[in-house]
Amino acid sequence: MIRPFLIALQFLTRLPVRLAGDLEAEDLGRSLLYYPLVGLILGWLLAASAWLLSGAPPLLAGALVLTLWVALTGALHLDGLADTIDAWAGGRGDPERTLALMKDPHCGPQGVTGLVLVLLLKFAALAAILEAGDYLPLILAPFLGRTALPLLFLTTPYVRPGGLGADLASGLPRRAGTGVLIAAGALAPLMAGAPGLLALTLTLAAFYSLRQAMRRRIGGTTGDTAGALVELTEAIALLAALLVGSGLYL
């Protein structure tokens, strides 16, 4: 059981975890069960850093926490977000062209613009949250972002044969995955009350819309669209925290 967890930690973070030997499809699939737990670990690290910066100006603290957030994840999902935006804009509705553009290592102006806007939204939300001294949304956002991934792989075909994503999708145990998702869905409101419930509701609505867009355009998901889903889920969860709870209002 520890190996799939360490695989999840190694893949989703830049924490010093290195596993020897080949990674089997079964272990890769089972690692998805631990993605929500890795999200919680990331969240606690971010919350701890925000607490240490509690005496700093909110804008500076928000910028530093966001920088740590990107560093801890190695910008893994930001890369997927930029590639997805580029492909959607340049694909012009054509599935094959969209998939080809997602494999292009170059980032066009649409991808850069989308990346900047999402980071700007995160930064503004973080500054407001830290000014209020409420660190719970920093735990909730990475948790929901990584919980979205097993939900995506359970409900959406993976359209690129071979590779890591295909092994993740094929090796994910469906019954255990469903149980993890139910537990994670119950934990969000238990952990964060009304903000957690609102964040869960809004991110589920966004998940449905994004999944529908993926199915219509390319017939399923890829690693890049999965990364885009994580980034957008995190941003929505942070914004939801500004709607209710702890004196935070838009």
Residue-averaged pLDDT of the chain = 90
The larger pLDDT score, comparing residue 165 to residue 132, is at: 132
**Mean per-residue pLDDT for 8-13?**
93
Candidates 155, 138, 146, 10; CA nearest to 69 is 138
User: What pLDDT shows up at residue 90?
Assistant: 87
Range 204-229 average pLDDT:
95
Give the residue-averaged pLDDT of 201-211: 95
Per-residue exposure over 192-220, b if at least 16 CB sit within 10 Å of its own CB, e if not:
beebbbbbbebbbebbeebbeebeebbeb
Question: Which positions ≥6 away from 142 have C-beta within 8 Å?
Answer: 39, 40, 42, 43, 46, 69, 234
pLDDT bracket for residue 246 (50, 70, 90): very low
Whole-number pLDDT of residue 248: 45
pTM of the model: 0.93
Q: Is the dihedral of CA 99, 203, 59, 68 positive or negative?
A: negative
Q: What is the pLDDT confidence band of residue 32, given thresholds at 50, 70 and 90?
A: very high
Name beta bridge partners: 221: 158
CA 214/CA 206 separation, integer angstroms: 12
Of the candidates 106, 110, 107, the one whose C-alpha atom is nearest the C-alpha of residue 88 is 110
Q: pLDDT above 70 covers what percent of the chain?
A: 95
Return the pLDDT at 52. 95
